[in-house]
Structure 1
Amino acid sequence: MAKNAKNQYVDPGWPEVAEGDHAVSELVSNRAGNLSPYGEYTQFPVPVKSLPYVHPHTIVNR
């Protein structure tokens, strides 16, 4: 049988952080669960006029 050695990870695993910091912010959060990707101070619902979203409109070529 061939020896398939794995020399490195595809994903580098843990990122490098400063001394005393931790790479996983969920462990040092003040609440349990996922943290919001929108930040701590975003109020929902967000006004529609402030969103940078444009709904796509496709014209079918027939």
Structure 2
Amino acid sequence: MAKPANPDRIDPTWPQLPDGEHPVTELTGSVQGNMSPFGEVEFPVDSVPYEHPVTEINR
């Protein structure tokens, strides 16, 4: 018989989904390893929408 769940050990940020649905984790993903934080973007991309910040020092 399993022990009852301890409410202090339950992650409050875990998504609440309808019955039968699963949040995507590396255990239920289609590939090994971490899932991409970029969604369905295929790499390599033609251009990257990133501009490195430049700090101008005031003297």
TM-score normalised by length of structure 2 = 0.54
| Cα distance in structure 2, aligned partners of 1:56 and 1:14 | 34
Q: Which has the higher helix share?
A: 1
> Which digits, 9 at most, give the CA deviation of each residue in 1:13-45, with x for residues without a partner?
53211110123432221222111222344122x
Bigger radius of gyration, 1 or 2? 1
Q: 1:54 to 1:31 in 2, by over 3 A?
A: closer
Match of 1:33 in 2: 33
**What is the deviation of 1:55?**
2.1
TM-score normalised by length of structure 1 = 0.53
| Cα distance in structure 2, aligned partners of 1:8 and 1:24 | 23
Cα RMSD (Å): 2.7
| Cα distance in structure 1, aligned partners of 2:17 and 2:54 | 44
